[in-house]
């Protein structure tokens, strides 16, 4: 009786798997032979290739379920290896590699319209970690400790290929306390290639000319930080080749109230430095404990934080290496399932989804940059084309872009992410920061003079920005002007009286 119930359970469950077409019939039989040969019933169930036509569907279904369970436990040939996954999880919030999320502009030409100016706000490319993380990962020998613990646990349920890649990992190219927040080679290359693509998207606006002409026709401004300056130089190289523009505008924080206002505010730093990075709610704790069990890490509750720190380190290197070497899978990502990688990435970035008071206060830091956009486009509308550059490029950080999107109203409808959020909250987010603010992330506004008036095209990371009232990123200037004007009129340029 019990066996009949068990068979019925396996059959019903396996039917769900069969309908998804996960395995072929031959694979079912192969896995069935394996399972039966390792059980006490192996002598009763000696299967041969010639028995395929005589096996009942019920037995095949049972074999399917057992085989899948074996696959889940990585017990048989064909086990999952992250290194061989053709579609690994690559979205890591603000640390996402640009090439994994960017689009391709195909609609830069508007019938009966002429582009007059491109205005862009950009985030730097991928960078080396801050000093704290370099010391933690390298000087404190944390990564070697994780490798040792994995060796003691025989890598848990990790496939041998993934384990060997971790075992032999020794890449500290950017994990160095003497190289803090330095633009990576991929960051430089990605920005240069962006410049090359912009030149093909907008040939009327971006043209190689004598240096003195370029100085008059293009404006570049960056934060006084290596990552921003190097990103700017790389974009210029992509736009115009190996030239030296010595009139670029580089601002220290205290003299930059367009890109860096938030960095001048003590309240911002107090919040940023004192926030709890992780809130261990039940769901997150369950996930961490599941990973601990998978790799036979200490199950002692007193060691939870120790195990969590190890997993945090492995996840951090996974994210960073994916942005530094987007064409190579980081060995450390193999320690996590796709769902775990997703949860970690958003958990780390969740402070960007703060309570309304935070946004009401600090998104106003974007009003000068939006006012700048309003002034330039309004000047073009008035016919002062020769007074305006053909291209304007600002290089900020992820806060610059986040506040820009928020103040523009692009994040409306997405409730602030609660600190103690759940996977349900995660799945119901309207916007994914991986697509909004990756490394090399950017937002572009292009002003067009048309036979029937003026238009504006909005792009986010080379994709049309689906902004409200602007289908496929195309806005009537009259409409978009009202949006910018409402922001500009409320914006005190010196921001002395920020509400």
Selection from 85-94, 135-144, 258-267, 396-405 with the highest mean pLDDT: 85-94
> Which pTM was predicted?
0.80
Domain boundaries, the chain: 1-77, 83-89+131-179+272-352, 108-129+180-267+354-491
- Tally of CA atoms within 13 A in the half-sphere of 216 that contains its CB: 7
Positive or negative, the Cα torsion across 93, 320, 399, 379?
A: negative
pLDDT for the residue 76: 37
Alpha helices in 156-281 (DSSP H): 160-167, 185-201, 211-217, 226-240, 266-274
pLDDT in tens, 339-396: 899 888 877 666 555 544 445 556 677 788 999 999 999 999 999 999 999 999 999 9
pLDDT at 265: 55
Please write the tens of the pLDDT for every residue from 68-93.
Answer: 444 444 333 357 899 999 999 999 99
For residue range 407-457, what is the model confidence (pLDDT) as tens digits? Answer: 888 876 666 666 566 767 766 666 788 999 999 999 999 999 999 999 999
Taking only the tens place, the pLDDT of each residue in 178-209 is 999 999 999 999 999 999 999 999 999 999 88
Q: What are phi and psi of 189, to 5 degrees?
A: -65, -40
pLDDT value of residue 316: 93
Task: Write the CB contacts of 406 (distance below 8 Å, at least 6 apart in sequence).
Answer: 359, 363, 366
Radius of gyration from C-alpha coordinates of the chain: 27
Q: Which residue has the higher pLDDT, 133 or 25?
A: 133
Task: Indicate if the pLDDT at residue 48 is higher than 80.
Answer: no
Distances (CA, A) of 461 to 317, 391, 419, 445, 457: 25, 17, 28, 11, 13
Q: What is the mean predicted confidence (pLDDT) over 110-120? A: 97
> What pLDDT shows up at residue 28?
40
Q: Is 185 helix (H, G, I), strand (E, B) or coil?
A: helix
Tens digits of residue pLDDT in 207-248: 988 888 899 999 999 988 999 999 999 999 999 998 888 778
The CATH code belonging to domain 108-129+180-267+354-491 is: 3.40.50.1240
- C-beta separation of 490 from 367 below 8 A: yes
pLDDT recorded at residue 252? 73
Is the CB of residue 32 less than 8 Å from the CB of residue 63? Answer: yes
Confidence of residue 327 (pLDDT cuts 50, 70, 90): very high
- The 10s digit of each residue's pLDDT in 247-304 is 788 877 666 666 765 565 555 545 545 445 455 667 778 888 888 888 877 656 656 7
In sequence order, the 6+-apart residues with CB closer than 8 A to the CB of 386 are: none
Q: Greater confidence, 35 or 174?
A: 174
Identify the DSSP state of 127.
B
Half-sphere exposure of 207 (CA within 13 A, CB side): 11
Say yes or no to pLDDT of 26 above 90.
no
More reliable by pLDDT, 15 or 252: 252
If you average pLDDT over each of 170-174, 457-461, 490-494, which comes out highest? 457-461
- State the pLDDT at residue 342: 87
């Amino acid at each position: 009786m019990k066996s009949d119930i068990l068979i019925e359970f396996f059959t019903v469950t396996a039917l769900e798997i069969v309908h998804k077409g996960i395995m072929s019939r031959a694979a079912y039989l192969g896995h069935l032979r394996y399972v039966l040969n390792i059980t006490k019933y192996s002598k009763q169930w000696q299967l041969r290739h010639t028995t395929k036509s005589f096996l009942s569907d019920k037995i095949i279904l049972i074999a399917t379920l057992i085989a899948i369970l074996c696959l889940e436990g990585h017990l048989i040939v064909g086990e999952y290896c992250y290194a061989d996954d053709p579609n690994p999880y690559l979205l890591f919030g603000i640390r996402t590699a640009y090439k994994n999320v960017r689009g391709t502009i195909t609609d830069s030409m508007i019938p009966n319209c002429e582009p007059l100016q491109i205005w862009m706000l950009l985030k730097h490319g991928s960078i080396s970690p801050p000093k704290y993380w370099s010391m933690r990962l390298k000087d404190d020998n944390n990564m070697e400790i994780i490798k040792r613990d994995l060796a003691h646990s025989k890598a848990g349920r990790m496939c041998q290929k993934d384990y060997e890649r971790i075992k032999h990992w020794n890449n500290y190219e950017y994990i160095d306390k003497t190289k803090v927040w330095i633009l990576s080679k991929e960051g430089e290359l990605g920005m240069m290639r962006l410049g090359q693509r912009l030149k093909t998207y907008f040939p009327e606006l971006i043209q190689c000319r004598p240096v003195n002409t370029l100085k008059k026709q293009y404006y570049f401004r960056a934060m006084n930080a290596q990552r921003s300056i190097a990103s700017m130089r790389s974009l210029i190289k992509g736009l115009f080749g190996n030239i030296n523009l010595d009139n670029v505008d580089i601002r220290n924080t205290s003299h930059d109230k367009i890109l860096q206002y938030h960095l001048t505010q003590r309240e911002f730093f107090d919040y940023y430095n004192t926030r709890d990075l992780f809130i261990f709610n039940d769901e997150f704790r369950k996930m961490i404990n599941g990973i601990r069990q998978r790799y036979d890490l200490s199950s002692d509750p007193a060691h939870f934080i120790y195990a969590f720190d190890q997993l945090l380190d492995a996840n951090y290197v996974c994210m960073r290496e994916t942005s530094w070497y987007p064409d190579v899978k980081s060995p450390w990502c193999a320690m996590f399932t796709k769902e775990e990688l997703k949860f970690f990435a958003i958990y780390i970035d969740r402070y960007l989804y703060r309570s309304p008071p935070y946004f009401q206060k600090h998104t106003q830091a974007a009003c000068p940059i939006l006012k700048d956009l309003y002034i330039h486009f309004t000047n073009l509308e008035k016919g002062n084309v020769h007074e305006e550059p053909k291209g304007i490029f600002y290089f900020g950080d992820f806060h610059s872009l986040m506040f820009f999107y928020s103040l523009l109203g692009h994040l409306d409808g997405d409730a602030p992410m609660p600190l103690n959020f759940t996977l349900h909250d995660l799945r119901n987010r309207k916007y994914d920061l991986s697509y909004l603010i990756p490394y090399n992330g950017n937002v572009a506004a292009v002003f067009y003079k048309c036979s029937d008036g003026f238009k504006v095209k909005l792009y986010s990371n080379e994709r049309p920005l689906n902004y409200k009232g602007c289908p496929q990123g195309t806005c009537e200037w009259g409409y978009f002007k009202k949006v910018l004007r409402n922001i500009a009129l409320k914006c005190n340029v010196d921001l002395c009286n920020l509400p």
